Each structure stands twice: as structure tokens, then as C-alpha cells.
Amino acid sequence: MHDGKRRLKWQGEDVLAFLRTDFPQAFRDGWDYTVEHLTTRQAIVRLHAHDSQLRPGGTIAGPTMMHLADFAFYVLLLALHGASARLSVTTNLSISFLRKPVAGDLVARVEMLKHGRTLSVGAVHMEDAEGRVVAHAEATYHMGAAEW
């Protein structure tokens, strides 16, 4: 496995610092994240609860979960490749919503399923503040620039 020898280019704080500048909408309205765990194969990213994510009834909106699934995988790619991963784009994202999350933080754990030359595929497992699985997603990123 060519991933075996791979080292992380960036740690979690480097990735978030880059994203605050490069992808400021992810932090709009006071949204914030912690990278809780990071290896060459896995990232665990927490989205801190914020009123702007809530739906009436005290649950979290689906698009917030879609955003977090995509964001967590992007964190892992940035950690592996550094700034050059900013050229990668999501080509496909499929998400199943399993239960309504309770109001509170969301934690996404993304695992790299394939880290290829042109395509990377990751699976995302998402839990709510009570530790229940609320969504499961699979995302494909096209590595590299321009047209795909």
C-alpha cells in the first residue's frame, strides 16, 4: 500500500487555519470545528453546536450533516496533501439519514477507502451528541485541478 509510508503534511490545527482563510463560508455564522483525531487513514471532526444549524423541534438540518460529511473528508485530504488538495473537488456524495440528531455537536469520522491517483473515496460515520449514529455517507473526490 502506497499509503503505508505516507506521512501527514498537516496536523489538524494547520488544516483548520488554512480553511479559515481559504473556505470562510464553512465558518460563517459562528460555525466552528475541532479535529479530534487524525491519521493517514482517518479523521474525526466535531462540528460545534450553533443555533443557526437547528431546525424547529430541536433537530439539526440535513444540509448541515451533508456539509459536515463533505468537510470532514476535505480535512483528511488537506492533512495528507497540504494546500495542493484545495484543487480537489467532490464529484459524488451519497448520504443516508438514519435518525434525527438531538440538538448539540455532531461528530464525523471519515475513513479513507481508496486513495488513488485520480479519485479518493471515503466513508463517513456521523454521531450526534448522545453518541447515536445519525448519518452515513460516502464521498468521492477528484484529486487535482480544473476539469474532471
The residues of the shown chain that bind its own copies, judged by CB under 8 A, are 22-23, 25, 28-29, 52-56, 61-63, 66-67, 70, 89-100, 113-114, 116-119, 121, 123, 133, 136, 138, 140, 142, 147-148
User: In whole angstroms, how close is the CB of 9 to its own copies at the nearest point?
Assistant: 20
Q: Which is nearer to its own copies, 14 or 27 (CB)?
A: 27
- Between CA 76 and CA 78 the distance in angstroms is 5
Q: Which is nearer to its own copies, 19 or 80 (CB)?
A: 19
Residues 102, 57: contact at Cβ < 8 Å?
A: no
Q: Which is nearer to its own copies, 48 or 99 (CB)?
A: 99
User: In whole angstroms, how close is the CB of 84 to its own copies at the nearest point?
Assistant: 15
DSSP string, 90-122: EEEEEEEE-SPPPSS-EEEEEEEEEE-SSEEEE
Q: Which is nearer to its own copies, 62 or 104 (CB)?
A: 62
Pick from 31, 101, 98: nearest CA to 60: 101
User: In whole angstroms, how close is the CB of 82 to its own copies at the nearest point?
Assistant: 17
User: In whole angstroms, how close is the CB of 68 to its own copies at the nearest point?
Assistant: 9
- Between CA 64 and CA 58 the distance in angstroms is 14
**How many degrees, rounded to 5, is the angle at CA 140 between CA 50 and CA 106?**
20
User: In whole angstroms, how close is the CB of 93 to its own copies at the nearest point?
Assistant: 6
- Between CA 131 and CA 57 the distance in angstroms is 19
